[in-house]
Amino acid sequence: MSAGNGSTQYLLWRKDSQGNASLVNRFHSRQQAERVCARFQTRRQRERFWVSALGPDSKPPHKPCS
């Protein structure tokens, strides 16, 4: 799940009110991913959003947006 050039991708996740988690989008910039995450957090109160980093040798840790 890494970009073709081996760079880190930033994954935006969503967890709905039923507890189902799903991948929303992938970004090449942490700033862009956090910006979109914050926007979703303010608009969708019943759902939880977070960003995780995924590099060539990493696993995605699930962390909530700040």
Between these two residues, 44 and 27, which has the higher pLDDT value?
Answer: 27
pLDDT at residue 17, as a whole number: 87
What gap in Å lies between CA 6 and CA 1, rounded to an integer?
A: 10
pLDDT digits (tens, 9 = 90+) for 5-17: 568 899 999 998 8
pTM over 0.85? The answer is no
Q: Is the pLDDT of residue 2 over 50?
A: no
pLDDT at residue 45, as a whole number: 76
Strands (E), 1-66: 9-15, 21-27, 48-54
